[in-house]
Amino acid sequence: LNKLYSTNNLERRELIKLLSSIDNKHKKILFEYADIVRKKIYGKKVFLRGIIEFSNYCKNSCMYCGLYASNKIINRYRMSKFEIMECCKKGYEMGYRTFVLQSGEDPYYTDEMLKSTISSIKHAFPDAAITLSIGERTKLSFNMLFNAGADRYLLRHEAAEKNLYEKLHPHMSHDNRINCLKILKDIGYQVGAGFIVGLPNQSLEDIVEDLMFLKNLNPHMVGIGPFISHPQTPLKNSPNGSVDMTIICLSIIRLLLPHVLLPATTALRCLDAHSWERSLKAGANVIMTNLTPQEQRKKYDIYKGKGNTADNANTLTVEVKDLIKNAGYEVDMGRGDHISISKLS
């Protein structure tokens, strides 16, 4: 732990040892180190983002995800540009300055449609940042969306170990996903990668691969969430991932990548009501609040319990702000760019 704290690096065998033998005393030290590092770089600020889940159509078959293409039970929806803009408007009035546009991988939204939506959002809310989380696209498409005004792109690598990835993502290519991340970085997006903890057949060595992959990629943002089984997927009988292991991984990432923007992820809160507070105290510095209208939100059913919140965006925002303050941190509704970018501007 001292080596990780002082050098921001560990070798593979040291990471395996850390993950396999960490006890409560050392967990406490790990979380404290992560909190110190996060405070050194971002202070006590927690950045709030507003997520708009604009389509639950998906052409892929990720075996863990409720949106997967052959799920015939799910009620599908798509939001129009006007509906997306309305969500941004409400979010902007609440103070949000980052809008995360997320969807399944839905080819219905052409580059032209996305460009037009992005530029209208930028025109109406010039001081807000746009994050896309819409899956793999071509280099040309990534370029066009960046030129239209998108600032950031979230594309979790999901699993760095190729065999594990390919078992869980039929007809998808691990190489392509990793290549997309590299292209996004080269274009100039602030890029987010990340993985799922507790996937069926995932070993500790696989998690270490994820941590080392992220250290090497050096993305601006990292999303790590526990696997949550979904009753309409092939993995419906698999146990959920561990909240504890997820928070340990968040802390390790804060120490491996001190400047990273690190959300306390939605899946964590789904499994454990106290996990956001625990994550903030263990290195996390971002929370995403849901701006999707309730009618669509309940259909964005990635995993069990995901769409269950009955609260509207205003109530959720107040709740999250209270949670942050009660945990001893400060709410920041600004764009919340990666420190390397915000220093430039």
CA dihedral 211, 214, 216, 218 (to 10 degrees): -140
Would the CA dihedral through 107, 86, 190, 147 be positive or negative?
Answer: positive
Identify which of residues 149 and 225 has a Cβ nearer to ligand SAM in the complex: 225
Is 62 annotated as contributing to ligand binding? yes
14: number of Cβ within 10 Å: 14
Tell me: is residue 177 an annotated ligand-binding position: yes
64 binds ligand SAM (CB under 6 A): yes
Q: Is 158 flagged in the annotation as binding?
A: yes
Q: Does residue 303 touch ligand SAM according to CB under 6 A?
A: yes
Q: Is 68 in the site for ligand SAM (CB under 6 A)?
A: no
Measured between alpha carbons, how far is 223 from 196 in angstroms, rounded to an integer?
A: 9
Where does this chain touch ligand SAM (CB under 6 A) — which range of 10-18, 88-96, 98-106, 185-193? Answer: 98-106
| C-alpha span between 268 and 58 (Å, rounded) | 23
What is 188-243 written as a DSSP string?
A: T-EEEEEEEET-TT--HHHHHHHHHHHHHH--SEEEEEE----TTSTTTTSPPPPH
Query: Of 101, 109, 153, 158, which one interacts with ligand SAM (CB under 6 A)?
Result: 158
Q: What is the DSSP string of 113-173?
A: HHHHHHHHHHHH-TT-EEEEE-----HHHHHHHHHHT--EEE---B-SSHHHHHHHSTT--
The one-character DSSP state at 76 is -
* Residue 278 is assigned to a ligand binding site: no
Binding residues for ligand SAM restricted to 257-296, rule: CB under 6 A: 267
By CB under 6 A, is residue 246 in contact with ligand SAM? Answer: no
Q: What's the min distance (Å) between Cβ of 69 and ligand SAM?
A: 11
Q: Is 58 annotated as a binding residue?
A: yes
Binding of ligand SAM by 230 (CB under 6 A): yes
Residue whose CB is less far from ligand SAM, 12 or 162: 162
| CA–CA dist 321, 333 (Å, integer) | 10
Question: At closest approach, how far in Å is the CB of 73 from ligand SAM?
Answer: 15
User: What are the binding residues?
Assistant: 58, 62, 65, 133, 158, 177
Residues forming the site for ligand SAM (CB under 6 A): 64-65, 67, 102, 104-105, 133-135, 155-156, 158, 196, 225, 227-228, 230, 267, 302-303
